[in-house]
Amino acid sequence: MIQANEIRVGNIFIGYDDKLFSWGLKEFSFIDTDVNISINEIIKSPVVLSEEILLKCGFLEDNNYSGLHSKIGALEIKIRFNSKIAYCEIGGIYFGDRFKYLHELQNVWHSMSGQELNTSGL
C-alpha cells in the first residue's frame, strides 16, 4: 500500500483505468479528509521498474557494465537488471535493489539532482 508521504507531484502510477497517470495537485485534493477518498481508490498500483520503463524514460544501454544509465549534469544513475534490479548507483552512491517502483526512483532522483526524471516517453 502506498502512503501519502511517498508521493510527490509528478510521480507516475497506474490508475484504475489501467493507464499511467501523473500524480498532481488535483489528486492530493481528493484525499482531503472532507472528501474521504483514500490513495488506494486513486492508484491501482505503482509502476514496476523494468528495462522497458527506463528506456522509455530516456535511459541508454551501456555495454561497459551490462546495464542502463542516465545523466543530468554530473549526476549519473546506473541500473543493472536480472529478474529485479540487481544494482543501482546514483551519483556514486550504491543503493542495491532498494528501488522496485518508478515513483521511488523519481523521488530519489529529484532529491539528488533537483530535477525530474524524464517520464515524457511513457
Read off the pTM.
0.87
What is the predicted pLDDT for the residue at 1?
75
Q: Any idea what DSSP says for residue 49?
A: P
Work out the percent of the chain whose per-residue pLDDT is above 70. Answer: 94
The residue ranges of the chain whose pLDDT is under 50 are: none
pLDDT digits (tens, 9 = 90+) for 88-109: 999 999 998 889 999 999 999 9
The letter for the amino acid at 39 is I
What would the DSSP string read from start to end of 58-120? T-EEETTTTEEEEEETTEEEEEEESSSEEEEEETTEE-TT---BHHHHHHHHHHHHSS----T
- In total, the chain counts a number of residues equal to 122
